[in-house]
């Protein structure tokens, strides 16, 4: 099957790849040495790399004021293309339009790219937070990212010169959209479902994945390998868990695994929509949206992300949602089920969540055998046992992690 038979990239007939290679990259690196420097946050590095590899097609750089405002208010850029979350770059001083600046990783000090400035502008951070995260509370990790931004937003087109440490550190997992598309085409997959993961796969994740396999040509398990909030399980441990699960409990020809370099924003519904945008660029026709997708704490309802997909206007996004209800283990049913298939009471149910699993493991508590596969639990127990006291973070439970919120709703 030709790649042209796959779903087209978002807002474009072809991937918009901004990563320079070969001689062009060498020339770019030499040029960047003499340019003024802007240090990027971890989130900005991930966004830049995604633009470089075509994951953020059709973006050509960091957003200007009008695109920023349109995305915040209406999830739409000035050219009419749907986009749910602002992709911006901040700095503590402004630059005049037409000036070129080198983009440097604040973490590694590596030259990441060159930006040609189109404008510098200030934003109302509370306005962005309220629109994107539905809150401006400081406790929200995404709000913290926005509030930490510097005074000026610097917009402009970019040439990307590096993918940072991701290709080496996550060799065999990290993928560019052109690579995943080539795999799907080789396998003859037209209907491809994406599973977003920032946690090791417990039995609910596995159940969602296998539902998707049943109704698709194949499944793309797409793991975030960027930064997470404190207390979340790091990417290298998660990758090991998922590899073990897939190798032991899935038909290998029906699953492809990949990784992408973004930090989590924890933007709930808006981030769920962004997941659909770049999964389309990676060649996926469907995005699995289950309970509390990309959520944090009690900031979003358990199925707000599904509602966000339902409310999109026609033509906004070609990658369709594959919605799946709340899933759990039922002792009476003797397996994984959902609210749509299980008639039994709460006392017969074991609700599974990444939050509950992290809490039990971090506190050395018992984990029911039905929660996760034994091979996965062994890896996680080894990780938590090796943590020092100052590396441990208290994991707080919330209604979406325990099933209490859904149980109360069903009783009304």
Indicate the domain borders of the chain: 3-162
Q: Which of 181, 199, 281, 291 is catalytic?
A: 199
b/e per residue 167-204 (b: at least 16 CB within 10 A): beebeebbbbbeebbebbbeeebbebbbbbbbbbbbbb
Over range 289-303, report the average pLDDT: 92
**pLDDT digits over 6-21, tens only?**
999 999 999 999 999 9
Task: Check if 79 is active-site.
Answer: no
Alpha helical stretches, state H, 162-290: 166-169, 177-187, 203-215, 235-249, 269-281
Question: What are the φ and ψ backbone dihedral angles of 245, each rounded to 5 degrees?
Answer: -65, -45
Average pLDDT, the chain: 92
DSSP assigned state of 82: B
Over range 335-356, report the average pLDDT: 90
Q: CA 162, CA 227: separation in Å to the nearest integer?
A: 18
- The owner of tokens 């209604």 is 399
The pLDDT assigned to 86 comes to: 98
CB of 151 closer than 8 Å to CB of 90: yes
CB atoms within 10 A of CB 125: 15
At 76 the three-state DSSP class reads strand
pTM of the model: 0.92
Q: Which of 198, 203, 270, 373 is catalytic?
A: 198
DSSP annotation string for 328-346: EEETTTTEEEETTT----G
Q: CA 200, CA 374: separation in Å to the nearest integer?
A: 13
Q: Which fold has domain 3-162?
A: Sulfate adenylyltransferase (3.10.400)
Q: What Rg do the C-alpha atoms of the chain give, in angstroms? A: 21
**pLDDT digits over 22-75, tens only?**
999 999 999 999 999 999 999 999 999 999 999 999 999 999 999 999 999 999
Task: Check if 176 is active-site.
Answer: no
């Amino acid at each position: 099957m030709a790649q042209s038979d796959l779903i087209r990239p978002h807002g474009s007939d072809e991937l918009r790849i901004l990563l320079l290679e070969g001689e062009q990259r060498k020339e770019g690196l030499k040029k960047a040495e003499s340019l003024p420097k802007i240090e990027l946050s971890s989130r900005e590095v991930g966004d830049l790399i995604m633009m470089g590899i075509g994951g953020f097609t059709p973006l050509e750089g960091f957003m200007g004021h009008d695109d920023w405002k349109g995305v915040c208010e209406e999830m739409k850029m000035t050219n009419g293309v749907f986009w749910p979350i602002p992709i911006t770059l901040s700095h503590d001083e402004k630059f005049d339009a037409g000036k070129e600046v080198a983009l440097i990783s604040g973490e590694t000090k590596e030259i990441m790219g060159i930006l040609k400035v189109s404008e510098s502008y200030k934003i109302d951070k509370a306005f962005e937070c309220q629109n994107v995260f539905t809150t401006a509370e400081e406790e929200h990790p995404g709000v913290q990212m926005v509030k930490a931004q510097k005074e000026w937003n610097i917009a402009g087109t970019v040439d990307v010169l590096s993918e940072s440490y991701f290709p080496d550190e996550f060799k065999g997992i990290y993928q560019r959209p052109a690579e995943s598309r080539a795999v799907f085409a080789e396998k003859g997959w037209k209907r491809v479902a994406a599973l977003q993961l920032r946690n090791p796969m417990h039995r609910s994740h596995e159940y969602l994945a296998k539902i998707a396999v049943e109704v698709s040509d194949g499944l793309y398990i797409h793991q975030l390998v960027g930064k997470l909030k404190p207390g979340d399980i790091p990417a290298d441990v998660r990758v090991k868990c998922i590899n073990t699960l897939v190798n032991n409990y899935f038909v290998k020809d029906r699953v492809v695994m990949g990784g992408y370099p973004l930090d989590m924003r924890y933007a709930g519904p808006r981030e769920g929509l962004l997941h659909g945008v770049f999964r389309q660029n990676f060649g996926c026709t469907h995005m699995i949206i289950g309970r509390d997708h990309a959520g944090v704490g009690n900031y979003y309802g358990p199925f707000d992300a599904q509602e966000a997909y339902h409310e999109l206007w026609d033509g906004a996004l070609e990658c369709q949602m594959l919605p799946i209800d709340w899933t759990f283990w039922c002792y009476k049913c003797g397996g994984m089920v959902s609210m749509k298939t299980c008639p039994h009471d709460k006392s017969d149910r074991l609700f599974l969540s990444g939050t509950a699993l992290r809490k039990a493991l971090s506190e050395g508590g018992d984990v029911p055998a039905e929660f996760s596969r034994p091979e996965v639990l062994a890896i996680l127990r080894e990780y938590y046992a090796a943590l020092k006291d100052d590396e441990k973070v208290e994991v707080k439970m919330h209604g979406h992690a325990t099933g209490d919120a859904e149980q109360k709703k069903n009783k009304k």
